[in-house]
């Protein structure tokens, strides 16, 4: 059997003999040789470029130059000279020992009606609550090193500023608790007429000191609502009865206390 060339014109004419040659298949078969050659050429070009691309990159890539690194050597510094100019501190003599400024006398037994009130011995709590201190006086004693306290003509007294805490272990409490505190304020507060006419309502935040004796002191306005409302709230808070004092380490201390006073129109 003879070999048939499927790309020859005779084969194409034989296949489309008696058929419509205007049909697309005839045209496609007529141009198949050209398309095949073009495809082969494109494939060949792509293959050549693909294989030669690494070589071209190596040729274009610049060669790295050897860097000339200079090693800098620091000059050796001379050893610093240390001068021993430390001055010798002369010793200071300690101050002389203080002598006792109170004369101790033997106790005398008297009847209760013969003892004056200012001669009564104070309790420890009264001594802790006192705010007056006596400074150290430079007084010369007798040959025994004692002196009567009545002989001291100049005594310097000063008011001791009491420390007020912000937060303590046991905060002060109103008798009956916070509910009774708010009930007391609401039952004693008087809504200012001018504030009612202007439709003012809200809260006045007050802060005050509850002393170590439970008394209310130093009432301040932390957040104002209206001058008339602020003034009335301060008035009521100043009439509060004694609190149960706050404690720090088991000792009564003064502490700041914050209280909101609410004004609400019915």
| pLDDT tens string 130-170 | 655 544 444 455 555 555 555 544 444 444 567 899 998 99
In the chain, the number of structural domains is: 2
Q: What is the pLDDT of residues 87-104, one digit of tens each?
A: 677 777 777 766 555 555
In a domain, 95, yes or no: no
In a domain, 26, yes or no: yes
In a domain, 215, yes or no: yes
In a domain, 251, yes or no: yes
Q: What is the pLDDT of residues 177-233, one digit of tens each?
A: 999 999 999 999 999 999 999 999 999 999 999 999 999 999 999 999 999 999 999
The residue from 34, 57, 80 where one domain ends is 57
The residue from 13, 42, 57 where one domain ends is 57
In a domain, 111, yes or no: no
For strand 132-134 and strand 164-165, is the pairing parallel, antiparallel, or unpaired?
unpaired
Domain range enclosing 244: 165-263
């Amino acid at each position: 059997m003879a070999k048939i060339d499927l790309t020859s014109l005779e084969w194409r004419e034989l296949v489309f003999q008696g058929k419509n040659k205007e049909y697309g298949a005839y045209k496609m078969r007529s141009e198949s040789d050209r398309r095949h050659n073009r495809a082969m050429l494109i494939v060949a070009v792509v293959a050549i470029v693909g294989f030669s691309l690494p070589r071209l990159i190596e040729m274009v890539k610049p060669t790295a130059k050897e860097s000339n690194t200079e090693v800098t050597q620091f000059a050796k510094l001379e050893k610093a000279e240390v001068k021993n100019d430390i001055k010798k501190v002369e010793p200071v003599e300690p101050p002389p020992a203080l002598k006792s400024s109170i004369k101790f006398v033997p106790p005398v037994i008297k009847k209760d009606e013969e003892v004056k009130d200012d001669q009564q011995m104070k309790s420890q709590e009264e001594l802790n609550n006192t705010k007056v201190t006596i400074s150290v006086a430079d007084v010369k004693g007798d040959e025994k090193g004692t002196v009567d306290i009545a002989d001291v003509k100049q005594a310097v007294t000063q008011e001791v500023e009491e420390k007020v805490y912000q937060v303590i272990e046991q905060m002060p409490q109103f008798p009956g608790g916070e509910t009774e505190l708010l009930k007391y304020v609401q039952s004693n507060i008087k809504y200012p007429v001018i504030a009612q006419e202007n439709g003012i309502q809200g809260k006045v935040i007050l802060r005050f000191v509850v002393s170590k004796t439970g008394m209310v002191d130093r009432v301040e306005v932390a957040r104002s609502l209206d001058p008339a409302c602020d003034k009335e709230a301060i008035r009521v808070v100043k009439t509060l009865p004694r609190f149960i004092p706050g404690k720090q380490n088991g000792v009564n201390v003064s502490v700041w206390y914050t209280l909101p006073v609410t004004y609400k129109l019915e």
